[in-house]
Amino acid sequence: MARGVTPVTPEDGLTTRQRRHQPLVIVHTGNGKGKSTAAFGLALRGWHQGWSIGVFQFVKSAKWRIGEQAALEALGRVHDDTGAGGPVEWHKMGAGWSWSRKSGTEEDHAAQAAEGWAEVRRRLTDRTHTLYVLDEFTYPLTWGWIDVDEVVATLTERPGYQHVIITGRDCDPRVIEIADLVTEMTKIKHPFDEGRPGQKGIEW
Amino acid sequence: MARGVTPVTPEDGLTTRQRRHQPLVIVHTGNGKGKSTAAFGLALRGWHQGWSIGVFQFVKSAKWRIGEQAALEALGRVHDDTGAGGPVEWHKMGAGWSWSRKSGTEEDHAAQAAEGWAEVRRRLTDRTHTLYVLDEFTYPLTWGWIDVDEVVATLTERPGYQHVIITGRDCDPRVIEIADLVTEMTKIKHPFDEGRPGQKGIEW
């Protein structure tokens, strides 16, 4: 898929080879499962290319991605030990964040989110990583904790060859607009709807 | 998400703890990206749980999942060397398969697909793995190379605690029917549509 002749040839003055090396903004949105898991699956490909990978986890709790974190950090150690693959950094933006914006803590969460984004922005300027996973990043945008126009400007103007994957429901249309690749994950059926709770290894 | 109180409580005579340990059939379908990548992302969680993971790759070419294969096999070696995580096996069902069913080779591909499924069925009977990724498995079903009703019966009657993830477009409704968790990946925007070809680290 997507490797043969493209349906249109853009008049951008680039060669096919150059177009094969354009940095992408990728968005995984929608109410279904697989948004983050697909981002971490993509990170496996980037790891194999030897890319530096930075994961920035905008979630309420440390435990939800523990499997992916353990696996990707193990791959980072494989790189450190053997030189295979690429290095991996995993950053959690505060274990205490809440989806529900509990009263009394909202302000701290907003500050943490802004601080996290400021760090990502610095790294984009410094070209620290080749692949950034901004996990659940749509929520602080929706909640007004991070300025969407500033994110759009930073992503649009980022230098060099840096891919950015953003995950989360209800992605702001301004981010969709500048994204290169957008996939919506739609829930067709989920055991939770039938009264079956989440389970180890599947939900976390 | 999906970890608190469920919207309904099923009258299945099971405790919540038992329901947390039910084996799932998971389907990732739709025309968008992320079906396979999300499956491999889930495999990271399973790996962290120490599960035995078996990947069965029903695809045309060996090169398409090379990054995921390299990363998951590296994780399997981490398990072998340190005991962390779980073991990983990766099986390719013939490097010569073709999406386009080129004349002259179709019969071989059908036989290879059937042989691959027979092996998966044996392993399900033997409870070889805890997580099976049947990548691009919908296609041999669609093409009539593997009998859908037999797959449905085998999955429904599989013993023990074995999760099965099936990926691919146009999943047969009979498989959707018996699946526990179904997500559709929908393409909203893809650089290929704008004349930008696939690229290393992103498409493969």
**Mean pLDDT of all residues in chain B?**
83
| A138 interaction partners in chain B (CB closer than 8 Å) | none
**Helix A35-48 / helix B35-48 crossing angle, nearest 10 deg:** 90
Cβ–Cβ contact B68 with A under 8 A: yes
C-alpha B176 chain-centroid distance: 14
Beta carbons within 8 Å of A36's beta carbon, 6+ residues apart: A28, A65, A68, A135, A136, A167, B41
- 21-60 of B, contacting A, C-beta below 8 A: 21-22, 24, 26-30, 32-42, 44-49, 51
Distance (Å, whole) CA B198 – CA B186:
18
> What residues pair up with B26 in beta bridges, in sequence order?
B165, B181
Which of A21, A39, A47 has its CB closest to that of B71?
A: A47
Look up the CATH number of domain A18-161: 3.40.50.300
**pLDDT at site A99:** 35
| B187 interaction partners in chain A (CB closer than 8 Å) | 182-183
Model pTM greater than 0.80?
yes
The ranges of chain B with pLDDT < 70 are 1-21, 60-64, 94-107, 191-198, 203-204
C-alpha A179 chain-centroid distance: 12
Interchain pair B203, A2: CB under 8 A: yes
Beta carbons within 8 Å of A173's beta carbon, 6+ residues apart: none
A50 → chain B, closest CA residue:
B201
Phi, psi of A154 (to 5 degrees): -65, -45
pLDDT tens digits for B79-125? 999 999 999 998 887 654 333 344 445 557 788 888 889 989 999 99
- 135-154 of A, contacting B, C-beta below 8 A: none
Phi, psi of A89 (to 5 degrees): -120, 140
> What residues pair up with B184 in beta bridges, in sequence order?
A186, B29
**CATH assignment of B41-185, among 3.40.1190.20, 3.40.50.300, 3.40.50.720, 1.10.10.410:** 3.40.50.300
Distance (Å, whole) CA A68 – CA A63:
10
* DSSP helix/strand/coil, A161: coil
Min Cα distance B148 → chain A (Å) is: 20
Render each residue's pLDDT in chain A as its tens digit; 204 residues.
Answer: 344 555 555 566 655 555 556 899 999 999 988 999 999 999 999 999 999 999 999 876 555 688 999 999 999 999 999 999 999 998 887 654 333 344 445 557 788 888 889 989 999 999 999 999 999 999 999 999 999 999 999 999 999 999 999 999 999 999 999 999 999 999 887 765 666 666 777 766
- How do the domains of chain B map onto residue ranges? 41-185
Which of B9, B41, B70 has its CB closest to that of A48?
A: B70
Interchain pair A37, B32: CB under 8 A: no
ipTM for this prediction:
0.79
